[in-house]
Amino acid sequence: MKTKIFALGLTVLSTFSIQPAIADDGFLPALSFAAGLLDQGVFPQSDLYTTDDDISIIAEDGVNLDANIFVPTNLEAPAPAVIFINSWALNEYEYLKQAGDLAEKGYIVLSYTTRGFGTSGGVIGTVGPKDLSDYSKAIDFLIDNYPVDVNAIGTGGVSYGSGISLIGAAQDSRVKAVAAMSSWGSLVEALYGNKTPRLVWGEILVLAGQNQGNPDPIMVDNWEAIKNQNLTELPSVIAWAEERSPINYVDQLNANGTAIYFSKAYGDNLFQANSLMDMFSQLTGPKYIDLVSGTHATAELIPAMTGIGEDIVWENVYDWFDLHLKGETNKMVNAKPVNMKVKLKDQVDSFDAYPIPEVTDETYYFHPRSTFDNGDLESYPYRSRFGKDNTINAWAGTIFSTQIPLLSQILEQFDVPIYADIYAASNMRSIYFNTDQLNNTMQIRGEPSVTLQIQPKHDKIQLVAYLYDMGHLGMAKLITHGVVTLPDAEIGKKVTVNFELVTTAYDVPVGHKVVLAIDTKDPQYKSPSSENYFVDFEFSRNKQSTLIIPTL
C-alpha cells in the first residue's frame, strides 16, 4: 500500500507570521516543518462504506495519478458520485472526512492527486491542458469501474482543486454540479491585479510547489516575470494566466447548465473576491455563494480539521450535491444565491443577485488637507477656482496596513479586527480623508471604488487605499482595501487612476466616520521601487477624486 501522507500545508503555514523574507531563508524551514505535521492517512471507519487506497488512474500520456475511493456498503446502483481534487501542495488524503460523510449518504467518492503533487507522476500543470485531460480521465475511471449514475456526477475542491473543477466542468458536460471553494475568477487578477504582484501569496505558491511537488519551470519563470515587473515577458505570462482563468469559461458552464457552489473569504488575498464575483454575476445556471470572513482556504479547512468555528461551507456543499445530484429537497431549494456574512458581526445577509439590486452607490468627493486639518470626504465636489495638491513620499510604510499577512485575516475569521490609530499616522508618508459622523448606520455591501487624480514624481509608483470605520478617539477598524501600481508611469504627468477595493460586507455604526487612507506600501504586495519617491494628489474643480461606496 502506498505511504499515506496528508500534509497540512497552507493551513499550517497560515499560523506563521510570513513576511517578504519568505523568499530568503525564513520560509522554507517553516514549509518543511508544516509538511512534517502529517496525518498518516488513517481512513475514517464505518459499516456504511468500504475504502480502497490503491487506486491508480492512468492519464492520457501514461502518467500515474494516485487516488482513493469510498464506496457505500449498501450501494443502490446506479449511485451518485463525487470527485475531489487536491489543493495546491496537498494530495488525495485531503478530503478523507468529507469523503466518509458523503459515502454514508450514498455517494461513491473518488479523490485523486493532480500530476506533479504527492506520489502522482508528471509535472505540475497549474490547471493546464493535461490537468483538464486528467480530470476527464478520472470521470472515465469511475464510470468504467463502478456503478455510477452518469447523470449524477459532481466534482469539487479547495483552491487549486476548485479551479480544475470549474474549468474541467466547462469542458466536460458529464459534470452536473461543482463545489468551488476559495476559488478564483481571473488568475491574472489573482497574481497581478491592477499591475501589482501579490508578493506573499505568490512566493508561498511557488515555494510550496517546489518543496512539495514537481513544478513545470514555466510556473517559476512566470512568477519571476510578474514579481520583477518584466514588461517584456508579461504579455505571454498574462496569456498563460488567461487560459487558467475560470471566468473565461462562463459560456461553456452556462451551456452545460452546471450547478455551481462557491465559498470565498473577504480576506483571501491570494484570490481576492472581485473577479470571482464578476464570474458569479455572469453565470445563468444554478449558483450559490457563501462570502465569509477569514483568508484563503481557512473557512473550509479550519472548522473541518480543528472543530473550531461553524462549518457552514461543508454543510452547504453536502446540501448542494444532495439537491443537484440526488434531487433531494433541502434548504438550498428556496435559498437566495448570495449570502454575505457581515464582518465582525454574527449576521448573514442574503440577496437574490450580484451586484446586489438593493444597493445604492454613495459618492464622496475628496477635499484636500490643510496645514492643520486632514482631508475630507464630502457629498459635493471640490469647487475652488484654484487648484491644490497634497504630497506624500514612499520611503517607508505606515500604520495603515493589512497587518501581518495571513494571520491578521485568520483572526478576522474569529471577529478580531485589524486596527489602526488614524490620528497617529504619518502625514508625510500617507494621507487620509474622512466623512462627518454618520447619522445612520452605513451598510456596505459590495466593492467600493476609488478614482484618484495624481501626479507621479517617479516612473514606478504604488498606491494602497484602506477603507476604515473610525470611532470617536481615532481608533479605526479596517473594512477593506485595494491597491494599484503604475510600473511605467510618466514622471510629472498628471493622470487619473481608477481601482476597486476588495468585496466586503460591513456595517459602520451611527456616530462613526468613514475614512479612506492612502499610502505606498503594504506587506501583501511587491513594491515597484526601493527608491524614496513622491506622489502628488491633485485637486481641481475640473477633475475630481472620488470614493464610491455601495450601500443598502
User: What integer pLDDT is reported at residue 503 of this predicted model?
Assistant: 98
User: What integer pLDDT is reported at residue 41 of this predicted model?
Assistant: 65
* Angstrom distance (rounded) from CA 403 to CA 202: 17
Query: In the structure grid, which three cell numbers stand for residue 428, read together?
Result: 508625510
Query: In the structure grid, which three cell numbers stand for residue 450, read together?
Result: 476609488
Give the residue extent of every domain in the chain: 42-335, 360-551
pLDDT digits (tens, 9 = 90+) for 236-259: 999 999 999 999 999 999 999 999
Evaluate the omega torsion of the peptide bond into residue 355 and state whether it is cis, within 30 degrees of 0. Answer: yes
Kindly report the three-state secondary structure assignment for every residue of 514-529. Answer: EEEEEECCCCCCCCCC
Residue 479: name the closest of 449, 502, 510 by CA. Answer: 502
Q: Does domain 42-335 bear CATH number 3.40.50.1820?
A: yes
Run of H or E residues at 413: helix 407-413
User: What integer pLDDT is reported at residue 51 of this predicted model?
Assistant: 97
* Angstrom distance (rounded) from CA 198 to CA 206: 12
Coil, helix or strand for 260? strand
* Angstrom distance (rounded) from CA 135 to CA 50: 23
Query: In the structure grid, which three cell numbers stand for residue 141, read together?
Result: 475511471
Strand partners, 453: 496
DSSP string, 106-141: T-EEEEEPPTTBTT--S-B-SS-HHHHHHHHHHHHH
User: What integer pLDDT is reported at residue 15 of this predicted model?
Assistant: 33
φ, ψ (nearest 5 deg) of residue 286 = -60, 135
Helices (H), ranges, 244-366: 250-256, 273-282, 298-306, 312-325
Sign of CA dihedral 287, 293, 298, 303: negative
* Angstrom distance (rounded) from CA 154 to CA 170: 12
User: What is the pTM assigned to this prediction?
Assistant: 0.93
Torsion, CA 125, CA 406, CA 92, CA 132, rounded to 10: -30
User: What integer pLDDT is reported at residue 25 of this predicted model?
Assistant: 41
Determine the CATH number of domain 360-551: 2.60.120.260
**Alpha carbon distance, N-terminus to C-terminus of the chain:** 57
pLDDT digits (tens, 9 = 90+) for 75-124: 988 999 999 999 999 999 999 999 999 999 999 999 999 999 999 999 99
User: What integer pLDDT is reported at residue 228 of this predicted model?
Assistant: 96
Q: Where are any strands of DSSP class E within 215-284?
A: 259-265
Which stretches of the chain score pLDDT less than 50? 1-40
Coil, helix or strand for 439? coil
Query: Residue with C-alpha cell 476548485?
Result: 162
DSSP symbol at 437: P
User: What integer pLDDT is reported at residue 40 of this predicted model?
Assistant: 44
